[in-house]
Structure 1
Amino acid sequence: MTVTYDRAELLPAVREFLSSPKKLLIDGEWVDAADGKTFETLNPATEEVLAVVAQGSAADADRAVKAARKAFEPGSPWSKFTPRERSHLLWRIGDLIEEHADEFAQLEALDNGKRVEAARDGDVATAAELFRYFAGWATKMEGTSIPMSVPGRDFHAYTRREPLGVVAGIVPWNFPLLMAAFKIVPAITAGNTVVLKPAEQTPLTALRLGQLLLDAGLPAGVVNVLPGFGDAGAALVDHPGVDKVAFTGSTEVGKKIAAGAAGNLKKVSLELGGKAPNIIFADADIDAAIAGAVLGGYFNEGQCCVNGSRLYVQREVFDQVIEGVAAAARAITPGDGFAADSTMGPLVSKEQHDKVLGYIRSAVADGATISAGSADAPFEQGYFVNPTLITGVTEDMAVQTDEIFGPVVTAIPFDTEDEVVAAANNTVYGLAAGVWSRDLGTAHRVAGKLRAGTVWVNTWHADDVTLPRGGFKQSGWGRELGSFGLDDYTELKTVIAELR
Structure 2
Amino acid sequence: MSSNSLFDRNKTVFAGGCWRDGSGQDLLKVFNPSTGEVVAKVPSGGPSDVDDAAAAAANAFGSWKSVPSVTRAGYLRAFARGLADRQEALVDVQMTVNGKPRLEAEIDVGDAIATFDYYAGLADGLDERQDAPVIHAGGEHLGRVRHEALGPVGMIVPWNFPLVTSAWKIAPALAAGCTAVMKTSEFTPLIELVYGDIAAEIGLPAGVLNIVTGGADVGIAITEAPEFRKVSFTGSNMVGAKVMQAVAKRCLPIALELGGKSPIIVTEDADLETALDCVMGGIYFNAGQMCSATSRLIVHDDLEAKLLEGLVERSRATKVASPFEEGTEMGPITTRAQFDKIREYLDQACSQGLDCLTGGKAQADCAGNFIEPTIYRNVPHEHHIWREEVFGPVLATTTFRSDEEALRIANDTRYGLVGSVVCSDPDRGKALCDGIAAGQIWLNTPQIVYPESAWGGFKASGIGRELGPWGLSGFQGVKHVTAPC
- Same fold per superposition (TM over 0.5): yes
Q: Comparing 31-40 with 239-248, which one deviates more in the overlay?
A: 31-40
SS in 2 for 1:137: helix
**Superposed displacement of residue 139, structure 1:** 2.8
Deviations 1:330-350 (A, max 9, x none): 111111122222111111111
- Give runs of aligned pairs for residues 170-319 of structure 1, distance below 5 A: 170-319=156-305
Q: Supply the distance in 2 between the matched residues of 1:66 and 1:346 (Cα, whole angstroms).
A: 39
1:50 equivalent to 2:35? Answer: no
Q: Give the superposed CA RMSD.
A: 1.5
Q: Supply the distance in 2 between the matched residues of 1:379 and 1:179 (Cα, whole angstroms).
A: 34
**Superposed displacement of residue 103, structure 1:** 0.9
Decide whether the 8 Å contact of 1:276 with 1:433 is kept in 2.
yes
Q: Supply the distance in 2 between the matched residues of 1:320 and 1:429 (Cα, whole angstroms).
A: 29
**Superposed displacement of residue 22, structure 1:** 4.2
Amino acid at match of 1:484: W
Q: Comparing 318-327 with 456-465, which one deviates more in the overlay?
A: 456-465
Q: Supply the distance in 1 between the matched residues of 2:272 and 2:456 (Cα, whole angstroms).
A: 29
**Superposed displacement of residue 148, structure 1:** 2.1
Q: Comparing 337-346 with 179-188, which one deviates more in the overlay?
A: 337-346
Amino acid at match of 2:18: E
Match of 1:412 in 2: 398
Sort the Cα spacing of 1:291 and 1:149 in 2 relative to 1 into closer, same or farther, 3 A: closer
In structure 1, stretches of 5+ residues that fail to align are 1-11
Decide whether the 8 Å contact of 2:28 with 2:187 is kept in 1.
no
SS in 2 for 1:325: helix
**Superposed displacement of residue 415, structure 1:** 1.5
Deviations 1:408-436 (A, max 9, x none): 11111221211111111000000011111
Sort the Cα spacing of 1:352 and 1:458 in 2 relative to 1 into closer, same or farther, 3 A: same
Sort the Cα spacing of 1:22 and 1:372 in 2 relative to 1 into closer, same or farther, 3 A: farther
SS in 1 for 2:371: coil
Match of 1:87 in 2: 73
Sort the Cα spacing of 1:229 and 1:35 in 2 relative to 1 into closer, same or farther, 3 A: closer
Deviations 1:256-312 (A, max 9, x none): 111111122111011110111011111111121012111111111101111110001
2:133 equivalent among 128, 145, 150: 145
Q: Comparing 371-380 with 199-208, which one deviates more in the overlay?
A: 371-380
- Give runs of aligned pairs for residues 4-153 of structure 1, distance below 5 A: 13-73=2-62, 76=63, 78-120=64-106, 122-141=107-126, 142-143=129-130, 144-150=132-138, 153=140
**Superposed displacement of residue 149, structure 1:** 3.2
Q: Supply the distance in 2 between the matched residues of 1:305 and 1:377 (Cα, whole angstroms).
A: 24
Deviations 1:91-140 (A, max 9, x none): 121122112110111112222111233212x1001100111111011133
Q: Supply the distance in 2 between the matched residues of 1:124 and 1:461 (Cα, whole angstroms).
A: 17
SS in 2 for 1:138: helix
Decide whether the 8 Å contact of 2:65 with 2:149 is kept in 1.
no
Q: Supply the distance in 2 between the matched residues of 1:192 and 1:235 (Cα, whole angstroms).
A: 19
1:470 equivalent to 2:470? Answer: no
Q: Supply the distance in 2 between the matched residues of 1:439 and 1:109 (Cα, whole angstroms).
A: 39
Q: Supply the distance in 1 between the matched residues of 2:344 and 2:272 (Cα, whole angstroms).
A: 31
Deviations 1:455-500 (A, max 9, x none): 111122022111111100000111111111111100111112235x
Using the size of structure 2 for normalisation, the TM-score is 0.96
Using the size of structure 1 for normalisation, the TM-score is 0.93
Deviations 1:424-453 (A, max 9, x none): 100000001111111122111111111011
Decide whether the 8 Å contact of 1:378 with 1:386 is kept in 2.
no
Amino acid at match of 1:42: F
Decide whether the 8 Å contact of 1:435 with 1:443 is kept in 2.
yes
Q: Comparing 140-149 with 64-73, which one deviates more in the overlay?
A: 140-149
Decide whether the 8 Å contact of 1:374 with 1:386 is kept in 2.
yes
Sort the Cα spacing of 1:379 and 1:308 in 2 relative to 1 into closer, same or farther, 3 A: farther
Q: Supply the distance in 2 between the matched residues of 1:466 and 1:183 (Cα, whole angstroms).
A: 14
- Give runs of aligned pairs for residues 327-476 of structure 1, distance below 5 A: 327-476=313-462
Match of 1:9 in 2: none
Sort the Cα spacing of 1:462 and 1:190 in 2 relative to 1 into closer, same or farther, 3 A: same
Q: Comparing 31-40 with 416-425, which one deviates more in the overlay?
A: 31-40
**Superposed displacement of residue 254, structure 1:** 1.4
Runs of 4+ in structure 1 deviating by more than 4 angstroms, as ranges, are none
Q: Supply the distance in 2 between the matched residues of 1:22 and 1:203 (Cα, whole angstroms).
A: 12
SS in 2 for 1:389: strand
Q: Supply the distance in 1 between the matched residues of 2:427 and 2:137 (Cα, whole angstroms).
A: 46
Decide whether the 8 Å contact of 1:108 with 1:204 is kept in 2.
no
In structure 2, stretches of 5+ residues that fail to align are none
